[in-house]
Structure 1
Amino acid sequence: MNKITEWFLEQKPLNIFLLSLLGIPIYFWIFSIIYQLDKKRNENQSSIKKLIVGLLTIYPIVYFILFIGFFFNLFSGNSFDIFDLILPFHLTAMLCGFILMILGANSYGKYEKEKGYKTYESVGVFFMLWFYIVGIWILQPNLNKYINE
């Protein structure tokens, strides 16, 4: 787990941006922010927090893969409305993504405050994670520096 999360945070912003266009790697990137910055702060992560962050990361990925399968099934001639079935799972995946962004923003903000760096407010980091197309270009160079410390 450590090598994967370090790999994500050592990449250039362009690489992360191109990976994020696939949809799934953005969740791994946010997970890497939480995992590595909490580890750098020497915060003893409880097993409950690790489990929650892991589930918040895995659920949207599994949902995305299953949704693609359901989407192709829609074109195979089934007449029932699949979107009514998927809606609760979709909303849950969105909620998981937002909670993951909140935790990532908090980890980033706490790390910067603890190290005495120029600090973005957690709300600002949250919006940079949410609108990751812009946020990657701002946050990733700082993350590269933080990981190499």
Structure 2
Amino acid sequence: MINKFLNAKHWQLFTLMFGIPILLQIVVMTTMFANIDSNGNPDQTGMLNMMKIFPIIMFLYVGLFFGWFWSIGIGLQKYIPDDINMKIKKFKIFFLIPLAYILFLLIVIGTTFYGFSSGSNAVGGIVGKMLFVVIPMHLLSMFCIFYSLYFVSKTIKTTELKRDVTFSEFAGEFFMIWFFPIGIWIIQPRINKIVSEESTNGNTVYKT
């Protein structure tokens, strides 16, 4: 799976990570507005049924986005000189924290829309009761995501230069990955080039 992400073209990743979720959201919203009657009253049953697709959209987006992050952060390590310490274990821990938090929220939302709870009020009730956990986890997850951005962008630049790099040297990569719908068109071709060149050179030594 890692190799599939690393070898994927920029337009393929953009379509899967951004294009398809946006298209599905447009279809859902268009269908919901089309079900509004002449008096301006929405079809609540139809709206609730259409809302069920949102957890699927988010699950698709999160899976692809985090899969891309993981593939870069871990998959490119085999192309980095052994004398450079990239703190891989720290990245793995910081990567898993927001992933687990987001999956938890998706499960709560999903079980609500698929009939295990009683509508949107149930989501608010569950989250409201767990604010003392949700708020710290949300802030921690944001920090972990930014660290993952930092690690992934540093990994790309380190792989290219084959030496330790400072933040000023990979700040461009950091912001391009942060704004990935635009940056992916620049970052992914570079990743493709790294993999292609290193594969040609026969570099297959993995780091752990």
Say yes or no: TM over 0.5: yes
Query: What SS is found at the alignment partner of 1:101?
Result: helix
Look up the equivalent residue of 1:42 and give its one-letter code.
Answer: P
Measured against aligned partners, the alpha-carbon deviations of 1:99-132 in whole angstroms (never above 9, x if no partner) come to 01101111111222239xxxx9311100011001
Count the aligned residue pairs: 141
Structure 1, gaps ≥5 residues long: none
2:62 is the alignment partner of 1:26: no
Length-normalised TM-score, structure 1: 0.78
From 132, 137, 144, the equivalent of 2:185 is 137
Alignment RMSD, CA only?
2.7
**Change over 3 Å in CA distance of 1:52–1:113 after alignment to 2:** same
Is 1:63 aligned to residue 104 of structure 2? no
Paired AA for residue 64 in structure 1: I
Q: TM-score, normalised by structure 2?
A: 0.58
What letter is aligned with 2:181?
I
State the shift of 1:82 in Å.
4.5
Structure-2 separation of matches of 1:127 and 1:65: 25
Aligned-partner Cα distance in 2 for 1:84–1:148: 47
Partner of 2:25: none
Greater shift, 48-57 or 103-112, is seen at: 48-57
The correspondence of residues 1-149 of structure 1 with structure 2, limited to 5 A, is: 4-21=1-18, 22-43=61-82, 49-71=87-109, 72=112, 75-77=120-122, 79=125, 81-82=128-129, 84-85=131-132, 86-114=134-162, 121-149=169-197
1:38–1:45 CA contact under 8 A, matched in 2: no
> 1:76 Cα deviation (Å)?
5.0
* Contiguous gaps of at least 5 residues in structure 2: 19-60, 198-208
